[in-house]
Amino acid sequence: MSRPATAPSKRPQLRSRRRSAKAEVTTEVSPEVDASPQPSSNVQPQPARRLPWGRIGKVAETLVMAGAGLWAAASIVGATGQVDDVRVVPGVKLAGHDVGGLTRPELEQLAGELAQTGLDRPLTLHAGDINQPANARELGAVPAPEAAIEAALEVGHQGNFLTDLRERTLAREGQVDIAIGYAFDEEVALTKLLALVPAVQKPSLPTRFDFEARRVVPAERGTGLLAYDSLSSVAVGLASGSSEIELATQALPPVEDPLGSLADKLDIGIVLGRYSTPYSTEARSADRTHNLKVGAARLDGFVLMPGEQFSFNDVVGPRTTEAGFRYAPGITSGEVVDVVGGGICQVSSTLYAAAFFAGLELTSSRPHSRPSSYVDMGLDSTVVYGAIDMKLQNPYDFPVVVHMAVHQGKVEVELLGPQRSYQVAFERKVEEVLPYNTVVRDDPKLRTGSTKVAQRGKRGFKVKRIRKLYQAGKLIKAEDWDLTYPPTREIINRGSNPAGKVPEPQNLLPLRDPANEMRIVQ
């Protein structure tokens, strides 16, 4: 269905009817003046008598009316002298093209060509923050140049002297440019508008963190496109020849905003403490990497209020398949075995190390049963849901925000706030090395007499961990902990089957002990 529309012109209002004005000019002769010859002798010349002002005004009005009539008649007759052969007055433009001097047939032909060209003219549809390019053809435009043709022919041909004079003057100054109007097919336009809905649709968002820019982003109301209501905007825009059309939109309802009440108290401009640990990106470690990402996602954006205690197990929750965790290698009783949530200790240890350097209270933690390859000994913290927890407390008078990410082979943690109160030093001293023992197990899969190392033994350590807090270079607090890392027993499988498989040779690298002393300052 096409909807007609009339294009508003950019000139003074024009009347549709043309009139031929007729004026009658009369000459009045005063009855007091004798027109017959008079004797010249003894006759003194008499001064001329003035006509009354009322009569002069009447004569002037009559002359103006006559001039207006002649102007209108001349403008209609034009160059050919034919009343019906009206030409567009000089300077008039149609859709930016000079059409002065054209007759109606010439104007109709040009208007039709311009109308077709105008179907592909670029348009911009505005909907909220979205600016979508389009053209009249895509919006179902149907050329309707008739009103523009009539408007162009009427300029300066109104039949009123002053009106026509003003219109012709404006035309010569280039101020009369008449847009070609368009009707439109609603079904075509609606199809285009409905296709824009996904691009315009902007969901409502809660208060959130922009960790890259280190700022708190306030909640935002979303935007939706009202496609059916926008049809009238399209009709008006096409009819007027506008290059920009503002579509109808509406604000969407707000969403739940957990951080909304805290927004004015949150400041994440400063890194209080950070730490990162490496992980394998090989395909065989995909399940473990998955667990790292699940755990990190539970912690990212967590807000620890002043004086509040943090429980890792409470925030991350149970490590079950229902909670999204997978089976992956983990340490249980000193051995590496597959467990649900394997690798989650790397998440807890990375967070613990960042908390150490941020100056948080380390209220509850336990080191691993064996030193980990991904974290410096003394900065790790093992967790087992329902049995071993890692707890921290915020000692500051401002909230601390956790930012954790797992990407490109690194687990990274930043603890953020408005200011850093301390410079923190981590010191570690190895006080005793504990030897490991070896366990030999019969393996019926291996040939009798052969052996294979199933688990590499690792020495244990007793270490002293020290945290020192500095302000302006002055030591203000020192804490120390005695930690024990039990040795990891070595397990050797011994073949017990005469027809068993001969194991492949193993290339075992020599054991490396940690440095006796270490110091890291943030």
DSSP 489: P
Please report which confidence band the pLDDT of residue 75 belongs to, taking 50, 70 and 90 as the band edges.
Answer: very low
Tell which residue, 353, 357, 356, 378, has the closest CA to residue 368: 378
Tell which residue, 339, 415, 352, has the closest CA to residue 382: 352
Please report which confidence band the pLDDT of residue 237 belongs to, taking 50, 70 and 90 as the band edges.
Answer: confident
Q: Measure the CA–CA gap between 433 and 149, rounded to whole angstroms.
A: 101
Contact 238, 181 (CB under 8 A): yes
Who wins on pLDDT, 49 or 89? 89
Q: Measure the CA–CA gap between 249 and 223, rounded to whole angstroms.
A: 7
**pLDDT at residue 63 tops 70:** no
Average pLDDT for 44-60:
43
Q: Per residue, what are the HEC states of 274-341?
A: EEEEECCCCHHHHHHHHHHHHHHHHHCCCEECCCCEEEHHHHHCCCCCCCCCCEEEEEECCEEEEEEC
**pLDDT at residue 111 tops 50:** yes
Residue type, 482: D
Please report which confidence band the pLDDT of residue 17 belongs to, taking 50, 70 and 90 as the band edges.
Answer: very low
**CA dihedral sign, ordered 378, 381, 387, 391:** positive
Please report which confidence band the pLDDT of residue 34 belongs to, taking 50, 70 and 90 as the band edges.
Answer: very low
Who wins on pLDDT, 308 or 21? 308
Report all structural domains of the chain as residue ranges with CATH numbers, in order of start: 267-421 (no CATH), 422-522 (2.20.230)
Beta bridge partners of 483: 463
Chain centroid offset of residue 61 CA: 68
Which helix (DSSP H) or strand (DSSP E) does residue 497 occupy?
A: strand 490-497
Write the DSSP string, 200-263: H-B--B-SEEETTTTEEEPPB--EEE-TTTHHHHHHHHHHHT-SEEEPPEEEPPP---TTGGGG
For residue 241, what pLDDT is reported? 75
Q: How many CB atoms lie within 10 A of CB 275?
A: 25
**CA dihedral sign, ordered 206, 207, 213, 214:** negative
For residue 68, what pLDDT is reported? 44
293-314 per-position pLDDT tens digit: 999 999 999 999 999 999 999 9
Mean pLDDT of the chain: 85
**pLDDT at residue 71 tops 90:** no
For residue 128, what pLDDT is reported? 83
Which tokens hold the place of 82?
A: 């034919």
Write the DSSP string, 422-479: -EEEEEEEEEEEE---EEEEEEEEEETT-EEEEE--B-EEEEEEEEEEEETTEEEEEE
457-496 per-position pLDDT tens digit: 989 999 999 999 999 999 999 999 999 999 989 999 999 9
For residue 463, what pLDDT is reported? 96
**pLDDT at residue 84 tops 50:** no
Q: Measure the CA–CA gap between 310 and 362, rounded to whole angstroms.
A: 10
**pLDDT at residue 83 tops 70:** no
For residue 309, what pLDDT is reported? 98
For residue 54, what pLDDT is reported? 46
For residue 334, what pLDDT is reported? 60
